[in-house]
Amino acid sequence: MEILEARFEHDSAGRLAGFGKDASGGVLPRFVLGRALEGVIWRFRWDVSTNLVQRVARLAGRESGIPIDTGDCPARPERFFAIERLLAEEVGLSVSDGGTLHERVVRDGITVGEIWTVA
């Protein structure tokens, strides 16, 4: 999911530190999960606590890549609600406060992956 690497700048620990030159800007997400046929990749913003990173990474690591060959968006990642809840609790929000975005990654008219972000 090279799109994540291009969209965001990363610090020496691999955390999200800013937007890359191909991104439109806005609020840097606290968490990003990308899924594709090749597997799953996730990143955290630089200021997310180490304890939370460990807890969420255990959930994200259990997600699987997605076979996107029909052009349809697959179902929401199985553990994403739990991930959202953990991230929201740290900043005193509820999951219903929003802040989650979903984006399909399309190349040559074919969906090749998806990106989920939590602000």
pLDDT at 94: 63
3-class SS string, 47-110: CCCHHHHHHHHHHHCCCCCCCCCCCCCCCCCCCHHHHHHHHHHHCCCCHHHCCEEEEEEEECCE
- Domain boundary assignment for the chain: 2-118
How far is it, in rounded angstroms, from Cα 115 to Cα 105? Answer: 7
| Chain centroid, CA 21 distance in Å | 19
Contact between 19 and 7 under an 8 Å Cβ cutoff? The reply is yes
Q: Consecutive sets of 10 residues in the chain, 119 residues long: mean pLDDT of each?
A: 78 92 77 90 94 96 76 76 90 68 84 87
Task: Tally Cβ neighbours within 10 Å of residue 28.
Answer: 18
Q: What is the model's pTM?
A: 0.85
Q: What is the DSSP letter of 27?
A: S
pLDDT at 16: 94
How far is it, in rounded angstroms, from Cα 113 to Cα 2? Answer: 11
